[in-house]
Amino acid sequence: MYDTHISDLEMASMKNVQNTHIEEQLRDIHRSVLDVVAVMNRPQRDEELIREAGISLDRALFPLLVGIERLGPIGVVDLADRAGRDYTTVSRQVAKLESLGLVERRASVADRRVREAVISPAGRAMTARIDAARERLGRQIFQSWEPAELADLTRLLRKFADALVKGPGERA
């Protein structure tokens, strides 16, 4: 007859194997995210997307325009934080987008001292062209993927992003 009781030593050994496996997975996730971020941050990627969209826009303004369209109305401080850029630089770049008629600036509804950037109709038309170009390029990347694989990536990436956005105390 077999003893079905697992000893404390055996349990600790199983946890060590499990921890090592998780550590390896976390390293692999981190490496993968670094690869994705590195590719996404390459100036050549933005230039390729701008070219594919058939628009004329300074590459430095491109991610700010898209950020304003996706997240706006948004204050310059928040936009700068999300873009990983200095507030004063982003403020000048948003002013440039405004002068091009792509965004508008207005007082925040929540705090009149804060000026927020919102997408203008011309800016929305430009981001629509960017979205169409992004879809064309994305279809090339995912053409060999099974629909279920793409659905899994979409679901899990959103779950991962949501967990990152939450503070450590909110994750439990």
Domain boundaries, the chain: 57-120
Q: What is the pLDDT of residues 122-159, one digit of tens each?
A: 999 999 999 999 999 999 999 999 999 999 999 999 99
Q: What is the pLDDT of residues 51-102, one digit of tens each?
A: 999 999 998 898 999 999 999 899 999 999 998 899 999 999 999 999 999 9
**CA-closest candidate to residue 57, choices 103, 126, 8:** 126
Question: What's the rounded Cα separation, in Å, for the pair 25 and 130?
Answer: 34
Question: What's the rounded Cα separation, in Å, for the pair 36 and 20?
Answer: 24
Question: What's the rounded Cα separation, in Å, for the pair 112 and 161?
Answer: 31
Question: What's the rounded Cα separation, in Å, for the pair 90 and 152?
Answer: 35
Question: What's the rounded Cα separation, in Å, for the pair 60 and 81?
Answer: 15
Q: What is the pLDDT of residues 92-116, one digit of tens each?
A: 999 999 999 999 999 888 877 788 9
The answer on pLDDT for 7 being more than 80 is no
Q: Which CATH code of 1.10.287.130, 1.20.1280.290, 1.10.10.10, 3.30.450.20 fits the domain covering 57-120?
A: 1.10.10.10
